[in-house]
């Protein structure tokens, strides 16, 4: 199929590729943004474990070692868990899920993350129509 068959007379394209605006998967099912968050959280956990251990054993080398091991473990374990949870869902599911979780459990943070626009009411909805 020629590339000119998809171009209309006015010069516009008659179709758009399906995955044009998606973030590419970088490592283990994580996009670049998700990978940065996973690495940051894993490094923080590695630092929290490594700092006391380096103080107890009187060597500074334990802290960066724990950070590196924490990042490696976080990317491989966290990537597998996130890939399993994201399978078959829309691209924005993870971000909306985090917004909803923050809006339900920490309402003060909902304004900062945009969670105040989410519908969080549970219960029956009615259309308030009278039945004849």
Per-residue pLDDT tens over the stretch 90-122: 877 888 888 888 888 887 777 777 777 777 777
Rounded mean pLDDT, 51-67: 94
Q: At 7, is the secondary structure helix, strand, or coil?
A: strand
CA distance 116 to 103: 7
pLDDT exceeds 70 at position 58: yes
Q: Which of 27-31, 35-39, 71-75, 108-112 has the highest mean pLDDT?
A: 71-75
Number of H helices, E strands in the chain: 4, 2
User: How much is the pTM?
Assistant: 0.65
Cα 6 versus chain centre, distance: 35
Whether 9 has a pLDDT exceeding 80, the answer reads no
98: left (phi over 0), alpha (psi -120 to 50) or beta: alpha
Which of 98, 35, 23 lies closest to 71 in space, CA to CA?
35
Arithmetic mean of pLDDT over the chain: 81
Share of the chain above pLDDT 90, in %: 30
DSSP 28-65: TTEEHHHHHHHHHHHHHHHHHHHHHHHHHTT-TTHHHH
Distance CA 99, CA 77 (A): 23
Q: Cα–Cα distance between 131 and 10 in angstroms, integer?
A: 53
pLDDT tier for residue 74 given thresholds of 50, 70 and 90: very high
């Amino acid at each position: 199929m020629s590339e000119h068959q998809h171009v209309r007379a006015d010069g516009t394209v008659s179709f758009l590729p399906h995955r044009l605006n998606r973030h590419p998967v970088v490592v283990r099912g994580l996009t670049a943004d998700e990978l940065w968050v996973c690495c940051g959280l894993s490094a923080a956990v590695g630092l929290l474990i490594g700092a006391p251990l380096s103080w107890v054993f009187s060597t500074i080398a334990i802290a960066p070692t724990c950070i590196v091991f924490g990042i490696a473990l976080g990317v491989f374990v966290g990537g597998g868990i996130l890939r399993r949870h994201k399978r078959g869902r829309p691209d924005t599911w993870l971000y909306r899920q985090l917004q909803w979780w923050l809006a339900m459990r920490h309402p003060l943070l909902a304004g900062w993350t945009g969670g105040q626009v989410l519908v969080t009411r549970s219960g029956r909805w009615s259309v308030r129509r009278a039945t004849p």
